[in-house]
Structure 1
Amino acid sequence: MGNIESRPLAKNEIVNGYEIVGRIGTGSFADVYKAVKSSKTVALKRFKKMTLHVPDVLVEIESLKIAAHRNVVQYLERFADENTIYVVMEYCDFGHIEEYILSQKPNIKVRMGFIQDIASGIAHLHGLKISHRDVKPANILVDSRCVAKLADFGLAKILSKTEGMKSLEEMYMESMAGTYVYMAPEVPKGHYNAQADIFSMGIVFCGILDEEVKESIEKELVGLKMHMVEGYTYTVPAKVGAFMQRLITQMLQEDYHLRPKAQEISKKLMQHGQKPKDVNLKSFKLLAAGMSACLGVEVRPPGEAPSSSQLKIKLNDLFHLTKPVVLNESNPQSSKSKAVDETMIVHDVSDIDILFRSVGGSTGKAKISKKASLLEMRRLVASQTKLPVDSLELYYRSWRVDDDQSIDKQGISQGAVIHVHSVKNDKGTVHYEMDNDLLDPSFNFDFTEIDDGDKEFIRGGHQYQRPCGWFRHALKVKGQHSDDIWLGGPGIRTHSTAGEWPVSYHGSKMTRDNIPIQSCAGSAGGIITTPSLQTVAEKYAEEFEFEGNTYQIALQNRINPDPGHMLNISGDEAADYWLSPKEDPSHPTNVHDVRPYGILIRKINN
């Protein structure tokens, strides 16, 4: 093939039996024509300067060939002449999705249908280990049935055979590819994976839902700002709707570990589109879905995890698997790890504390440099868990981490929880099961129809706000400590009893980063809670979708009121926060000064 700039094809010109109707698109690497053969209308893509781009062309063709799906443009055939390669694809009558929206002004039902189509297409590609890498409106077409289809795989990446034992999310790419407006913040760093598609898709969703939001978010250059401006976040406008605002916010997380995977997004959108099922707040499946949303791992009800699973969610995990629970930045002067030889890890001012949950349910804490490799962290964890280093699989949230990468490139930060498995799991998914001894249904209480009004309740000398409007799943706490005095006397009462601990609430989003703490003097770390359930519900409780409805989940706790065990921390807002700094994940009973005794769930309006 010659390295020749291809001349434009003329109207009515015949190419391999295809009659050219007209050019419908042009780019740096190819022109796209509308053509007809045997009364069938097709899109004919003609590549330019082939000797420079043959590898990219072959990847694009291979992606189209293997990606047959309702929401991917259909590949028909390819052929070549002396100058270039042609790819024949289905013709989409309405063109790019942006053109369709501007001309047709579709209603919200049609727009949500497009969003479901795109999510389904990306989930399908990721399932085939294909990363699109250039998700944007210009690469999404609409056919005659108003079905959205992914197109233009010129920048796609297919997992190679040598990488085939890894999941798509473990395949990291280094070349900076994509379109700036839709680019994820990690792409300019030259270290990213398929979750970059999720970020791009979130920007696209904003544009589909509202033209004004599209204009503003494209001007914002959200991903590049996150890359360049420390602490920058983008607030998704409320006008896109509460459900989509929550979903897109998750998709636009700077840390790709926190973004939902494509399959999860597609599932959420399908559930949202279904008629909501009857609410059963007592459901273990609902409770497991809420815990999964908080902990970043898949939690299943008792008896529903894979038979090979030995991983149980126990009482002491309810705080230790949230992120983060360690509040202090490490002191670089005390950064040497006693668990391993000093020469094994190079420490610097970026030392962080990590928590790990090992096989068998034990938890621990370790200090390591953010610049250390995951192999070094594996050795550190192995030394503390007393397990062979070559038998361990490490996961951050639901992601298996790669030994060849450094901790900071994996997005692991202060207070992160590392899951330690002794059995390899090629699916890249962490499954936990609720322990049979976690819950005590005999003490469940339904507060959903209760309104206490101005009535005051006191627990441990502090005013207690009962969880009115919520359903409480009771945790099995009686007899778990040296005594049960901390729970107070039985029955519904408005007063405290001797030795009783105050009540507090915790949402999984409560961290020092999002609570405007002015001073936290004397604290070495711990867990932040508040006596105000209203504050938790408004700002910190995790929201999740289940069977067409939206719910919130929070923890109800008792905290140790003894001096030094319950610190009042001041903030810039009119809310009380308590810090319980004596949390010790290495102790057999784990949480000392914060004792969760109920998991709260309530349905909220979509």
Structure 2
Amino acid sequence: MGEDAYIILSKINEGAFGGIYSVHSIVDKKIYAMKQILFHGDISCDAYIKYEIEHLSTLKHENIIKLRDIIIREYSVNLIMEFAENGSLENHIFENQPTFRDIYLIFQQIVTAVDFCHLNRIAHRDITPCNILLTSKTIVRLADFGLSVPCRDSEGHVILCDDYMGHLHYSAPEVLKKTPYDPLLSDMWSVGVVLYFMVYARVPFVGDEEFILSQEIDDSVIASKILENVEQMNDNTGLFNIIIRNLLTTEPKNRLQTDKVMQFIKNEA
């Protein structure tokens, strides 16, 4: 559909490369979200835009945000997507006191979405509570594929990343070290930080980049981040802490992958 098919209602958020807006469709009278990506030069040479469009177009899953339309203008690409009326997971955690069951249901869907990406050889690389949206209290949509990349070639071999982007608090140590890394395994670190945030309403590592890295590569610090919450622990929280501890491991190859995390969750169903 053309750009005249939508009316901008309001700005939802400001992204790194443009705004996020709510828009009204003239055709079906529904509300959608529009992500505006500003660019200069030849759009076909921008790998980040290329991958975001490609991956949103191909990743069809109930827990991944749905792409409806693409409108390309002279200096912007506008992605029309499903509108998540309940906002981001970050706001949900700050504004509510989610129960164990709520966290369980939401986290299960996050892992399912990430698993689907990884099975399709795509790494998200920006898994944060801001990029996990809710269409209802506990229905998840993984969003913002602006940093997503292919993580395996056609033969299943690892495609290492040598750009070091993403949210500081959710970045794995190998990303902060700025050494070539496997983005599938760095995604799993981010999933661990997201679960920590869901349980304790804060991130485990704060400070500048150097200080965060010094904490992430110290196993004793990682263990203490969980133990310091011992007063909040109960049998259910204990399950989450086991998963967190097996995701926040300095050595990437030792992190749980999505199938193992889902096995943990399934055993508690």
Shorter-chain TM-score: which interval? Answer: 0.7 to 0.9
Q: Give the corresponding residue for 2:41.
A: 51
Counterpart in 1 of 2:179?
A: 190
1:219 aligns with 2:206: yes
Match of 1:290 in 2: none
Say if 1:76 and 1:256 are closer, same or farther in 2 by CA, change over 3 A. Answer: same
Matched, 1:157 2:177: no
Q: 1:117, 1:165 → 2: CA distance? A: 28
Residue 159 and residue 196 in structure 1: after superposition, are their counterparts in 2 closer, same or farther (change >3 A)?
Answer: closer
Higher mean C-alpha deviation, range 194-203 or range 237-246: 237-246
What is the CA-CA distance between 1:73 and the residue it aligns to? 0.7
Amino acid at match of 1:224: L
Are residue 41 (structure 1) and residue 28 (structure 2) matched?
no
Summarize the alignment of residues 82-161 of structure 1 with structure 2, pairs less than 5 Å apart: 82-144=74-136, 146-159=138-151
Q: Is the 8 A contact 2:65 2:81 kept in 1?
A: yes
Using structure 2 for the length normalisation, give the TM-score: 0.86
* Letter matched to residue 238 of structure 2: A
For the 8 Å contact 2:87–2:135, the answer to whether it is kept is yes
More helix by share: 2
Whether 1:253 aligns to 2:249 is yes
Does 2:199 correspond to 1:209? yes
Deviations 1:354-385 (A, max 9, x none): xxxxxxxxxxxxxxxxxxxxxxxxxxxxxxxx
**Is 1:18 matched up with 2:6?**
yes
Question: Cα 1:189–1:128, aligned 2, differ >3 Å: closer, same or farther?
Answer: same
Q: Do 2:13 and 2:21's aligned partners in 1 also have CA atoms closer than 8 Å? A: yes
Query: Corresponding residue for 1:432?
Result: none
Structure 1 residue 62, shift from structure 2 partner: 0.8
Taking the aligned partners of 2:105 and 2:150, their CA distance within structure 1 comes to 27
Cα distance in 2 for partners of 1:159, 1:247 equals 23
- Alignment: residue pair count: 252
Matches of 1:145 and 1:50, distance apart in 2: 39
Q: Distance in 2 between matches of 1:223 and 1:257?
A: 20
Are the equivalent residues in 2 in contact too, given 1:92–1:141 (CA < 8 A)?
yes
Residues 90 and 186 of structure 1: CA distance in aligned 2, closer, same or farther (over 3 Å): same
* Greater gyration radius: 1
How far apart are the structure 2 equivalents of 1:146 and 1:253? Answer: 28
Q: 1:223 to 1:69 in 2, by over 3 A?
A: farther
Query: What TM-score, normalized to structure 1?
Result: 0.40
SS of equivalent to 1:189: coil
In structure 1, the partner of 2:266 is 270
C-alpha change, 1:58 and 1:143, in structure 2 (3 Å) is: same
> Structure 1 residues 267, 66: closer, same or farther in 2, change over 3 A?
farther
Distance 2:16 2:42 in 1: 12
Aligned residues: CA RMSD: 2.2
* Counterpart residue identity of residue 68, structure 1: K
Q: One-letter code of the match for 1:219?
A: V
Q: What is the deviation of 1:262?
A: 1.4
Does residue 175 (structure 1) correspond to residue 163 (structure 2)? The answer is yes
Identify if the C-alpha distance between structure 1 residues 52 and 29 changes in structure 2 by more than 3 Å, giving closer, same or farther.
farther
* Structure 1 alignment gaps of length 5 or more: 1-13, 275-606
Alpha-carbon shift at residue 232 of structure 1 (Å): 5.1
- Structure with larger RCO (C-alpha < 8 A, sep 6+): 2
Contact 1:119–1:262 at 8 Å: present in 2 too?
yes
Aligned-pair CA distance for 1:84 = 1.6
Q: Mind listing any 5+ residue stretches in structure 2 that lack a counterpart?
A: none
Determine the C-alpha separation between the residues in 1 that align with 2:258 and 2:3.
39
Helix, strand or coil: the match of 1:134?
Answer: coil
Q: Cα–Cα, structure 1 residues 223 and 171, in superposed 2: closer, same or farther, change >3 Å?
A: farther
Instruction: Give the CA deviation at 1:218.
Output: 4.0
